[in-house]
Amino acid sequence: MICDGDVPDSPLRIEVERRGLRRYTCSGGGRRTSRVRDMQERTWHDLPWAAHPVTVMYHQRRVRCRHCGIRTERIEFADPKARVTRRLQQLIGLDCQSMPTSHAAVRHAVSWGAARRAEVAFLRRWDRQRPKPRPRYIGLDEIQRGKGHQFWTVLSDIVHGEVIGLRQDRTEESTTTLLTQELTPPQRGRIRAVCTDMWTPYLNAVATVLKKADVVFDKFHVLQHASAALDDVRRQEFFRAGAVMRAVGRGKRWLLLRRWKTVRGSKRRELEELFAANRRLFKAYILREQLDRLWTYKTPQGVGNFLVSWLKALRWQRLPEMERLGAFLIRHLEGIAAYCFHPVRFGVVESLNTTIKAVIRRARGMRDEAILLLKLKWATAHPIRSVRDLKRFLQPYELHSNR
């Protein structure tokens, strides 16, 4: 070990030397050989010791392999061509999952590019080595990216709550390739239901690729359609009804779209005042609240009967927006009632979406789809839940073995 000067944070160099048998592993096929062609001094960044940055030095051999020709020797402590040791790579990769790459780079005194390469190598190794679950239920969902009308399609395992794949648009073609490329044939064979939105390209793709799977419409999306209808009623009632009424309805959109049970205190009074000013809006609000019950029935008949009585309550109300919603729900009744046979956990779908949006927001400007997908997989699978899990990722690598 060599230390430059007495400064508390002076760099340390560790020279690694091979002892014992002079046999080297070829980095091509992993065969051992003792025929060395030449060697070259190389350095790797390693974990710091106290405040001292540490550099590992080693004379890496080039060997003459009978099968591969001239190749560099394989070393235990670092990936081929990497500038950092494997244990530092793991630490950087791990840090990058909870802080921006630029912060992790500063923290470990490497360049941004080196930190990013370390992160990618770390995530790839993790993804390669973990088992591939075969979920019964998968989710197909669009995620809005940025403020424009740019949508990404996310394929996820909604049994274990993990992201499986990602595409940069939401066309039928790319959804079809997403389903065929990201899922192996045994995985596809196991899928019994796909939880998705009422988006025709998705439905077509599912019908082509997963012929045996049912479609379950996501509760969140169904209620979103209901909220849109309710908002149409609000606009109809207040904004085309003269200046006085307009003032009453102004700025109430978000309040109106909230569910009754989540509204408290003064906001609840505000909502009641709004309903007192317009009974039709009140009626529409109640009708939307009732739709929650669509997912409480045990049989499709129950769902159907409920929807028929819901439509009956609409009669004479002169609420064309809600009537349109009713017709829409009737058209998609099969996919809504499919929940009776496939009780997918909508809560998992929603929390997945929240995590995905948070990762995308943090990784804004990230152009590389492959890295973003790896980050999403890591964030949703959250593989570190205990000290033991953490140890798996921070396993010490020997600097060099004597075999």
Binding residues for Zn ion, total number by CB under 5 A: 7
Report the alpha-carbon distance of residue 114 to residue 349 in Å, rounded: 35
Report the alpha-carbon distance of residue 314 to residue 375 in Å, rounded: 47
Binding of Zn ion by 28 (CB under 5 A): yes
Binding of Zn ion by 64 (CB under 5 A): no
Q: Which of 3, 7, 29, 368 binds Zn ion (CB under 5 A)?
A: 29
Say how many residues make up the chain: 403
SS3 call for 252: coil
Only one of the segments 30-38, 110-118, 245-253, 301-309 lies at the binding site for Zn ion (rule: CB under 5 A); that segment is 30-38
Closest CA to 373 of 349, 356, 392, 353: 356
Q: Are 333 and 218 in contact (CB under 8 A)?
A: no
Strand segments, DSSP code E, in 104-192 are 137-145, 150-157, 162-167
Burial of 32 (0-12, 13-18, 19+ CB in 10 A): middle
Question: 29 or 113: whose CB is closer to Zn ion?
Answer: 29
Binding of Zn ion by 36 (CB under 5 A): no
Binding of Zn ion by 65 (CB under 5 A): yes
Instruction: State the minimum distance, in angstroms, from the CB of residue 94 to Zn ion.
Output: 32
Strand partners, 69: 65
Binding of Zn ion by 35 (CB under 5 A): no
Q: Are 109 and 165 in contact (CB under 8 A)?
A: no
Question: 24 or 77: whose CB is closer to Zn ion?
Answer: 24
Binding of Zn ion by 26 (CB under 5 A): yes
Strand partners, 397: none
Q: Are 235 and 281 in contact (CB under 8 A)?
A: no
CB atoms within 10 A of CB 110: 21
Only one of the segments 23-31, 149-157, 175-183, 290-298 lies at the binding site for Zn ion (rule: CB under 5 A); that segment is 23-31
Instruction: State the minimum distance, in angstroms, from the CB of residue 68 to Zn ion.
Output: 3
Question: 29 or 133: whose CB is closer to Zn ion?
Answer: 29
Question: 26 or 372: whose CB is closer to Zn ion?
Answer: 26
Q: Which of 16, 47, 68, 333 binds Zn ion (CB under 5 A)?
A: 68
Report the alpha-carbon distance of residue 290 to residue 303 in Å, rounded: 12
- Considering only residues 236-265, where is the footprint of Zn ion by CB under 5 A? none
Report the alpha-carbon distance of residue 12 to residue 387 in Å, rounded: 30
Only one of the segments 60-68, 83-91, 240-248, 337-345 lies at the binding site for Zn ion (rule: CB under 5 A); that segment is 60-68
Instruction: State the minimum distance, in angstroms, from the CB of residue 25 to Zn ion.
Output: 9
Binding of Zn ion by 67 (CB under 5 A): yes
Instruction: State the minimum distance, in angstroms, from the CB of residue 32 to Zn ion.
Output: 9
Instruction: State the minimum distance, in angstroms, from the CB of residue 20 to Zn ion.
Output: 21
Q: Interface with Zn ion by CB under 5 A: which residues? A: 26, 28-29, 31, 65, 67-68
